Amino acid sequence: MDSHDLGELDPRQETGQAGQAEDLLKVVDLCKHFPIQAGFWRRIVGHVRAVDGVSFALHRGETFGLVGESGCGKTTTGRSILRAIEPTSGQILFNDQELGWVDVATLDEGDLRVFRRHTQMVFQDPYSSLNPRMTLLELIGEPLLNNGVGDAAARTERVAELLSLVGLRPEYIRRYPHAFSGGQRQRVGIARALALNPQFVVCDEPVSALDVSIQAQTLNLLQDLQEAFGLTYLFVAHQLNVVAHICDRVGVMYVGKLVEVADTETLYSSPLHPYTEALLGAVPHPDPDYRGHRTLLAGEIANPASPPSGCYFHPRCPYAVDECSHEEPELRELQPGHFVKCHLAEELQLVGVDLEV
């Protein structure tokens, strides 16, 4: 195999090791608004604010989790960062190993192709994300073929290497996806994402469709690969127990906005936003005798096409005051590394969960 063409799976590759504080990605005021069309002439009568002014940074080698209820904009954020969908506005600053610092939102077709070699995505559903008419050789080798990497023999060798890397036998290379379980299919998806030695991987709820026992195996695999190859993950999930296991820092989203960001231990033990407290209180616990704090939220999640004034969360917040209904709070750093979007963050004494319980 031509190591220059294929890029050997070298743990020492210069993509950043876990624990480094250098930023790999900076998202600044990212917005994605989907138009609402009506009438015979399909006139635009409004917009769905799927992502509405999101800002955060990812350090090299870390796993940053995005959590929140379904429809809060987590997946749209991840896909906008990769330009799988076009963002409406904002900056997506990425430290590409070939291009240097670039704004992904403004890249032309040529540079975007280079950027996409270094960023990949692991999809939620391992059944629909793999073409049933393609063998594992074709599925995993497709990124190599599309980018003109190596000849047929070199690609075959690389696919066999990738299968071994994710815990599958190289002899499976000629088989089709229907021959595998959900967990094995997700391993195929992970192998495909690693084909071009990416710097950055968006994991879009990669274990939510799997059995609990298989979830743990998949998470451990992702962590092992991250440690070996210095990968940086954006981990999208709604299962907070899964996020606690794999993420270094967590961002909580509500109706397209980030409402709290902190390292995992701090966020879980000492939340500053009422929505975070409610999410943590809803996490199931395996001990039937465990009695944790539960905050029941009134009403429904806000409509992203017509969000309320002020703080989007105030109609459901048990602590809301008059200020919350007409003035939107800013995302501010209340403690070192702990950001919150709440007027009352200094006054509230919210209840978290003990990760050791």
- What the chain holds in terms of domains, given with CATH numbers, is 3-247 (3.40.50.300)
Q: Which two tokens stand for residue 121?
A: 């995505």
Question: Counting beta carbons within 10 angstroms of the beta carbon of residue 28, is it exposed (0 to 12), middle (13 to 18) or buried (19 or more)?
Answer: middle
Question: Counting beta carbons within 10 angstroms of the beta carbon of residue 322, is it exposed (0 to 12), middle (13 to 18) or buried (19 or more)?
Answer: exposed
Instruction: Report angle CA 255, 335, 332 to the nearest 5 degrees.
Output: 40
In 10 A of CB 354, how many CB atoms?
A: 9
The confidence score (pLDDT) of residue 6 equals 41
Q: pLDDT tens-digit profile of 262-276? A: 999 999 999 999 999
Q: What is the CA radius of gyration of the chain?
A: 21
Alpha-carbon distance values, 14 to 91, 159, 203 (Å) = 25, 22, 21
Could you read off the pLDDT tens digit of each residue along the chain, which spans 357 residues? 443 344 444 433 333 333 335 899 999 999 999 999 999 999 999 999 999 999 999 999 999 999 999 999 999 999 999 999 999 999 999 999 999 999 999 999 999 999 999 999 999 998 899 999 999 999 999 999 999 888 999 999 999 999 999 999 999 999 999 999 999 999 999 999 999 999 999 999 999 888 888 999 999 999 999 999 999 999 999 889 899 999 999 999 999 999 999 999 999 999 999 999 999 988 777 667 766 667 778 888 899 999 999 999 999 999 999 999 999 999 999 999 999 999 999 999 998 887 664
Q: Yes or no: say if 278 and 298 are a contact pair by the CB < 8 Å rule.
A: no
Q: For residues 197 and 96, give the distance between their C-alpha atoms in angstroms, rounded to a whole number.
A: 13
Which residue pairs, CB below 8 angstroms and at least 24 apart, start in 1-6?
1/150, 1/154, 1/157, 1/158, 2/150, 2/154, 5/149, 5/150, 5/154, 6/144, 6/149, 6/150, 6/154, 6/155, 6/158
Distance from the first to the final alpha carbon of the chain: 49
CA atoms within 13 A of residue 348's CA, in its CB half-sphere: 23
Q: Is the dihedral of CA 226, 271, 261, 29 positive or negative?
A: positive
The confidence score (pLDDT) of residue 5 equals 44
Q: For residues 180 and 283, give the distance between their C-alpha atoms in angstroms, rounded to a whole number.
A: 31
* Torsion on CA atoms 223, 239, 59, 332, rounded to nearest 10: -160
At 172, is the secondary structure helix, strand, or coil?
helix
- Residue listed under structure tokens 């939340």: 271
Q: Which two tokens stand for residue 252?
A: 């909580």
Burial 182-216 (b: 16+ CB within 10 A, else e): bbbbbbbbbbbbbbbbbbbbbbbbbbebbeeebbe
Tell me which amino acid residue 242 is. V
The confidence score (pLDDT) of residue 290 equals 67
Q: How large is the greatest C-alpha to C-alpha distance in the chain, in angstroms? A: 68
Q: For residues 218 and 304, give the distance between their C-alpha atoms in angstroms, rounded to a whole number.
A: 33
Instruction: Report angle CA 104, 165, 216 to the nearest 5 degrees.
Output: 85
The confidence score (pLDDT) of residue 108 equals 95
The confidence score (pLDDT) of residue 21 equals 54
Q: For residues 299 and 237, give the distance between their C-alpha atoms in angstroms, rounded to a whole number.
A: 23
Strand order in the sheet with 89-96: 43-59, 23-38, 89-96, 100-103
